Amino acid sequence: MTGGVASDTVFDVVIIGGGIAGLAAAFELRGRGLSVRVLERAARPGGVIVTEQFDGWTIDSGPDSLLVQKPAAVTLCRELGIADRLVPTLMPRTAFVLREGQLHAIAEGSFLGFPITFGALARSRLFSLAGKARMAGEVLTPRRTSDEDESIAAFVGRRFGREAVDYLADPLLAGIHAGDVDRLSIGALFPRLVDAERRSGSVIRALRALHVRPSPQGAFVSLPGGTGELADTLARALAPGTVITDARVTGLSRSATYAIDSTAGRVRARSIVLAVPAYVTGSLLRPIDSALADLCEAVPYASTATVAFGYRRDQVSHPLRGTGFVVPRTEGLALLAGTWVSSKWPGRAPNGHVLLRGYLGGGRDPHRLEAADQELLDAAQKELAELLGISGAPLFTRLYRWTRQSPQYEVGHLQRVADIERLLTALPGLFVTGSGFRAIGIPDCISDGRATAIRAADYVASHRTDPLTPNSQLPTLNRHVP
């Protein structure tokens, strides 16, 4: 094929998928001196990490922050030479929960929204007296003896009561994963809470014993150019020709090496890393192992939409002192949450202006995205206007659809992944990474991508049988990231 890779070229590792996990894997492999190609079906790498900039506005259309507590993303920024550009969230870092039409601040001294001191619980206006009493009684609730997986709602309800499910677990714990609180797995998503109960018999008691103190820099950081700056910098850090865009993979086969057919040509590799959604992984593996494909395709996904609105500051009467709010499903709104972007991060809107984001759809509202774009924008704009006292039309609107991009770690996910890993042992040299399996969120995807790359590198080192063309002389496919 003209412009393709020569048929006698064998790469050490070919990575299918150029999202953050795939790019991180490529970065790790390049650092270890291996020959790498990344095949990305889209016109640009980065996956859901996309930032739009225009006229003084900076809008993250997907994830907007890096969690400091999980250091993989910050470490990568340091290696890329952009750690000095990391910025913390603005003060105050208060987040709110909507209840009966009113925004209530999450109490200081909370962990994942749960007040871990009696003082913080007493001061909270989010819960009724009965709800506070039930939450305080968590320290007296017997620990569970079974190790069987359970939903977030079942765990939180059992330990903290129904109000905690409705006003913390649903909008916060499940909300950050765009999922249904009655279906998502507590063990897969919040193992720290499960471990706390198992170790001490009380989540509150265990968290108190840790003496967790909030960092003065805040829990999250980002970059002046949004999270897209990280993805773009990472792609540029790879050698020219490493990332091939507009390259949709059409088939895999395996003999002495792996052969990968794509719209950009055929490549061969000693090892493959699949860094694509689990259902795409399943479709690619079906000709090789149908049982493995079934397991991958069984991972459920939700679709979401991000909406963004720009206003003059004098159009919004709410003080916007904080980062934003979450919406329990008991409120019956279309919005899942809202971010006061210009109050959360510096430099995201021109002076005298406000940038707001809203979120729609997800596992608890799976049919929402069947609506037309304008219908979604109108619903979000109306609800934000009522909650925040907004007058007049926005200066601009944006809507970003993310179809089947939010994996749902539902009850049983850990066992499914264990079964997937077991079947993968029959396919030596083939590895999976990305948010559909073991990692949700930018730091976890980076960490898992790099760890998977190390496993692939170890495999290549132990199975190398023929010399490669020197990396600098390897031909490219069609397009690359400069």
pLDDT tens profile 244-263: 999 999 999 988 899 999 99
Domains and CATH numbers, the chain: 10-47+228-300+410-473 (3.50.50.60), 107-210 (1.10.3110.10), 301-407 (3.90.660.20)
108: exposed, middle or buried (C-beta count within 10 Å: 0-12, 13-18, 19+)? middle
Question: Does 37 have pLDDT greater than 60?
Answer: yes
Residues near 51 by beta carbon (within 8 Å), at least 6 away in sequence: 58, 59, 60, 61, 225, 226, 227, 228, 229
CA–CA gap between residue 328 and residue 181 (Å, rounded): 10
* pLDDT band (50, 70, 90) for residue 214: low
Average pLDDT for 292-310 = 98
DSSP label at residue 171? I
* pLDDT band (50, 70, 90) for residue 478: very low
Q: Helix H segments across 201-250?
A: 203-210, 227-237
CA–CA gap between residue 387 and residue 160 (Å, rounded): 28
Residue type, 477: L
Residues 192/45, Cβ–Cβ less than 8 Å = no
Residues 26/11, Cβ–Cβ less than 8 Å = no
Residues near 310 by beta carbon (within 8 Å), at least 6 away in sequence: 57, 349, 353, 354, 355, 356, 394, 395, 396
DSSP label at residue 408? -
- What's the mean pLDDT when you consider all of the chain? 93
Q: Which two tokens mark 366? A: 């799976």
pLDDT tens profile 357-397: 999 999 999 999 999 999 999 999 999 999 999 999 999 99
Q: Which of 2-11, 168-177, 339-348, 444-453 bottoms out in mean pLDDT, i.e. has the lowest?
A: 2-11
pTM higher than 0.75, yes or no? yes
pLDDT at 216: 73
pLDDT tens profile 63-110: 999 999 999 999 999 999 999 999 999 999 999 999 999 999 998 878
Q: What is the DSSP string of 65-110?
A: -EETTSTHHHHHHHHHT-GGG-EEPPSP--EEEEETTEEEEPPSSE
